[in-house]
Structure 1
Amino acid sequence: MTDDHALAQAQAELVAPVPADDARASSPARPDFAQFYEQHFARLIRHLMRQGANPHEAADAVQAAFEAAFGQWTHIQHPAAWLRVVALRIFLRRPAGEVLTNDIPDQPSAGEGPLGAVELGEQEQHILAVLAALPPQQRAVMAWHLDHFSHTEIAQALGMSDQTVRQNLSRARARLRLTFLPDTNGGRR
């Protein structure tokens, strides 16, 4: 099963028709779209940055994912997971690089637009650099884990088994430990 196929299957499982008489469609417990957007936009940008996107690519993909969600909002059962799957797919399908023929357009500074909510401290920038060195599957599992998703939720969203999630998480943690903890035993464990 290809990664694209697994993501498509996971996205389909996260969207299901909600009958009009279902309490979720009008429940005050389910935040409305605008509130969800405001609360989760920056988190989703960070999630994509943990998977290798730069801040501008992440913001573009997250915005496009929210646009896709808007029309089917009442049918999305797990919006946080659905948006992560869709935003990652959008990021991965972006053109390899546009060739500009005129002057390079100005990119907004970090404090402007949606990126103003995603100011990264020195430690978080270091963590992103370390995550970028992980293999893609370990990096994806770790990004979901850092967003507080359970092993089962990660497995469902990424189209893999719980055991594969645990294995990738364990390997990612081992690599991160080697990076963050200095060897204090002369190479012995």
Structure 2
Amino acid sequence: MSESDPADSGDGPATEPVTHPGPPGKRQDLRNETDEEFSAFYRSTIRPLVAFLINQGAAVHVAADIAQDTMTSAYRRWNELRTPRPWVYKVASRALVRRFASTEEEPVGEIPEPTSLLARPDAIEEWETRHDTLPMLRSLPPRQRQVLAWTLAGFTPGDIAEHLGLPSDTVRANLLKARRAAANYLKKRGEEEQ
């Protein structure tokens, strides 16, 4: 699978990371270097990736699961990826769309187990209410929410158009509508607080 087509990443059989040719000692040195590069990428990217998915409407535990699965796929393909940051955002975004399309949300009685991304799963609701932009983001139509989430993650409208396969005008129009809705939301909330 090429970097430009991550549509089914994570769905196929597990594969080992690419091995390096050469003598065993040299292979281990290259493997250690690759692991260090990926580790630095993981640490700098995982939390913003989870936030990006939450901004698109994912529940915190769903966002954490998708982000972890995406990073696993990125590790397996690490030596093939020329631009890993956009790749993981694209793969995670597509995984979220598939999750929305394939399942209905059902309330559960059990709280998810703690992970490094969710230290206190019982505090999810508290976290969501503290981030007062989430209700505004969730009120937007899906395409506006998606474009705004990519923007909040630091991508330009041109980048977004390229990664989502949309015309630039469509991205810009949806971003403009999302920004107007956000401004109206903040204005209305400000008036209510007075």
Q: TM-score, normalised by structure 1?
A: 0.71
Higher helix share: 2
1:178 aligns with 2:184: yes
Distance 1:136 1:106, change over 3 A: closer
TM-superposed CA distance for 1:182, in Å, is 3.6
Instruction: Note if 1:163 corresponds to 2:169.
Output: yes
SS at match of 2:88: helix
Q: Which runs of 5+ in 2 are unaligned?
A: 7-19, 21-29
In the aligned structure 2, how far is the partner of 1:91 from the partner of 1:59?
11
What is the distance in 2 between the residues matched to 1:98 and 1:135? Answer: 18
Counterpart secondary structure, 1:148? coil
| DSSP 3-state at the match of 1:65 | helix
Higher relative contact order (CA 8 A, sep 6+): 1
Letter of the 1:12 counterpart: D
Secondary structure class of the residue paired with 1:12: coil
1:134 Cα deviation from its structure 2 partner: 0.5
Corresponding position of 1:138? 144
Residue 82 (structure 1) aligns with: 87
Answer whether contact 1:11 1:85 (CA < 8 A) is retained.
Answer: no
Cα displacement string for residues 81-136 of structure 1 (whole angstroms, at most 9, x for unaligned residues): 11111112222323515889xx9544135xx521249994855x210110011011
1:155 maps to amino acid: A
Per-residue deviation, 1:12: 2.3
Matching residue within 1, 7, 12 for 2:5: 12
Identify the match of residue 60 of structure 2 among 55, 60, 65. Answer: 55
Answer whether contact 2:3 2:80 (CA < 8 A) is retained: no
* Distance change in 2, residues 1:116/1:106 (3 Å): closer
Amino acid at match of 2:83: H
Residues paired across the two proteins, number = 158
Report the equivalent of 1:3.
none
Q: Secondary structure at the match of 1:107?
A: coil
The one-letter code sitting in structure 2 at the alignment partner of 1:69 is A
* Higher mean C-alpha displacement, 40-49 vs 90-99: 90-99
Question: Hey, what's the Cα distance between the residues in 2 that align with 1:177 and 1:155?
Answer: 23
Structure 1 regions of 5+ residues with no counterpart? 1-8, 14-19, 185-189
Question: 1:108 aligns to what SS in structure 2?
Answer: coil
How far the C-alpha of 1:69 sits from its partner, in A, is 1.0
**Is the partner of 2:132 in helix, strand or coil?**
helix
2:160 corresponds to 1:154: yes
RMSD: 3.4
- Supply the distance in 2 between the matched residues of 1:98 and 1:136 (Cα, whole angstroms): 16
State whether structure 2 residue 132 is matched by structure 1 residue 126: yes
- Partner-residue secondary structure (3-state), 2:118: helix
Q: Percent identity?
A: 31
Asked whether the equivalents of residues 55 and 149 of structure 2 are also in contact (C-alpha less than 8 Å), the reply is yes
One-letter amino acid of the counterpart of residue 34, structure 1: S
Over 2 Å off, 4+ runs: 9-13, 91-95, 97-100, 103-106, 115-123
Provide the residue aligned with 1:108 in structure 2. 113
Are the counterparts in 2 of residues 10 and 158 from structure 1 also a CA contact under 8 Å?
A: no
